[in-house]
Structure formats: structure tokens, C-alpha cells
């Protein structure tokens, strides 16, 4: 399994009373100024995350260079991650 990060785009330093301690507790990190949620899956390390969702059979899953992987060890509620499989 490899570790990836979902970038929420949330800049916690611009939010009053941002719950930093909660996010540390559930394993989220702040990298590059944004809140990021780590997750593990079997996607190759050089893959590019597209999005996370609960449906592993969206039309994107049928593309030749796209892989869908179940996610583990995360505070995210989504069950699957779609990746572009870089060659």
C-alpha cells in the first residue's frame, strides 16, 4: 500500500477557531498551507489522484489510463479513489 493525500483546498490559517487539535487527532496534516487528508491504497506511487467517491463504477473507471482503488486508514468518508495511472 502507498500513502496519498487528498488536498481539501482549505487554508486553516484563514479560519477563526479552526479545530487544529481535532485534525491532528484524526491524522490530517497541513502541507503547503492547506488541510490534507492522508489515505492508503494500492495505487502505484507515481499515480495522480483525480477524486474520491463511493462508486467504483463511474464512467471514468472505464478509461484505459484510470484505476480505481479502495481507500484505507483515513478520516475521509469516501470508499474509493480514482487515479490517472502514469506510465
* pLDDT digits 0-9 by tens, 28-62: 999 999 999 999 999 999 999 999 999 999 999 99
**The pTM is what?**
0.88
| Bridge partners, 82 (sequence order) | 51, 68
- pLDDT for 38: 96
pLDDT at 87 over 80: no
Contact status, residue 37 vs residue 72, Cβ threshold 8 Å: no
Which sequence spans correspond to the domains of the chain? 2-84
Contact status, residue 38 vs residue 27, Cβ threshold 8 Å: yes
pLDDT tens, position by position, 7-34: 999 999 888 888 888 888 889 999 999 9
Amino acid at each position: 500500500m502507498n500513502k496519498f493525500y487528498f488536498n481539501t483546498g482549505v487554508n486553516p490559517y484563514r479560519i477563526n477557531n479552526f479545530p487544529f487539535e481535532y485534525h491532528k487527532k484524526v491524522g490530517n496534516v497541513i502541507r503547503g498551507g492547506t488541510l490534507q487528508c492522508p489515505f492508503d491504497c494500492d495505487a502505484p506511487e507515481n499515480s495522480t489522484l483525480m477524486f474520491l467517491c463511493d462508486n467504483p463504477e463511474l464512467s471514468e473507471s472505464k478509461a484505459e489510463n484510470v484505476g480505481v482503488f479502495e481507500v484505507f486508514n483515513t478520516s475521509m468518508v469516501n470508499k474509493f479513489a480514482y487515479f490517472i495511472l502514469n506510465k
